[in-house]
Amino acid sequence: MLSLILAADGFNVVGMDISLASLHRLKQKTKLLDVFQGDADVLPIQSKSLDAVVCLGSWRYFRNIERVVKEISRLLKLKGVFIVGYFPPAIAGIIHV
């Protein structure tokens, strides 16, 4: 998992998921991450505070893509990076990350 690799390399990683079960599994793997439950439409993170936002495998679940993009834009620093990994449902069972 990318977040675990980055945290192990000394990056400050914040994990967010709408699923408490997913967050619980993540916290069992490591104590290096700060995690919280939330919706990507409104994130309780200070504006212009993130160097990067990585969104893997969840893009298709967002109800309002435009609102999510605006929220991520609010969070990113001026030269921040936004990475999206989108896997269409047709190939979801084939890919194992």
The span from the CA of 79 to the CA of 59, in Å, is 22
Which among 34, 40, 32, 25 has a CA at the least distance from the CA of 82? 40
Verify that 15 and 58 share a domain, yes or no: no
Verify that 34 and 51 share a domain, yes or no: no
Domain that holds residue 1: 1-38
Q: Supply the pTM of this predicted model.
A: 0.77
pLDDT average per 10 residues of sequence, the chain (97 residues) = 84 89 88 88 92 86 91 95 81 60
Verify that 10 and 51 share a domain, yes or no: no
Verify that 33 and 16 share a domain, yes or no: yes
Verify that 72 and 46 share a domain, yes or no: yes
Verify that 53 and 63 share a domain, yes or no: yes
Q: Alpha helices of 9-94 — where are they, by DSSP H?
A: 20-29, 65-75
Give the rounded distance of the alpha carbon of 59 from its chain centre. 10
Contact between residue 4 and residue 30 where contact means Cβ atoms under 8 Å apart: yes
Verify that 21 and 47 share a domain, yes or no: no
Verify that 43 and 23 share a domain, yes or no: no
Verify that 2 and 25 share a domain, yes or no: yes
